[in-house]
Amino acid sequence: MIDYLAVFITFFAVIDPVGTVPVFIAVTGKYDPKTQRRIALLATLVSACVLLFFVVIGEVLLKALSIPLPAFQISGGIVLFLFALNMIFGDSKPEEEIKLLEKSHKETAIFPLAVPSIAGPGAMLAAVLLTENAIFSILEQVQTALIMLSVLALVYVLMLLSGFITRFIGSSGASVISRVMGLILSSIATTNILTGFSEYYRFIQV
């Protein structure tokens, strides 16, 4: 029997529904409300598909490719760190507006919102570790997947409510939050990388 609360807290921490809101505001600020709702829905669906993929065959795929979990965590952390750097430094305002106009809302929903913001390396790793075939039964894995989907549903609701937040903070506030979240994400990415190196060192010592 799985610990429902512990699993929920784990996914809540690695997916970070609250932290997704400023990221959503930052990358969808130039779209109209209707398009923003489409982006929120598509990002949630893509994230669910990605994480369910890792729940079902993530462990098998990594083992088949002889990729240890720490190596996956390190590479995921690097990708997240690069995304965080882009949030911190970004482009100048005119260049950013041009890029957003050229970029379709589907591309925005997939990257950087769905991956690596929502379905980040930490969430992917948690999806694999909390559904290990050698430890958990099929029923327990299904229960874990449902809890994970409930956290993603919470992410979707908070993204839909981001419009109310935008009205209060404005574009300048969104820019500030984007850079602050970039710093936080870079710290999380660095932690993932360092933890990955530590775990990989233990792995090669075995």
Percent of the chain whose pLDDT exceeds 90? 28
* Global pTM value: 0.73
pLDDT of residue 49: 97
Tokens of 107: 């591309």
pLDDT of residue 101: 43
What's the mean per-residue pLDDT of the chain? Answer: 83
Segment 145-168 shows an average pLDDT of 90
Which segment, 72-81, 83-92, 118-127, is predicted with the most confidence on average? 118-127
Segment 103-110 shows an average pLDDT of 82
Per-residue b/e over 35-51, b at no fewer than 16 CB within 10 Å?
Answer: ebbbbbebbbebbbebb
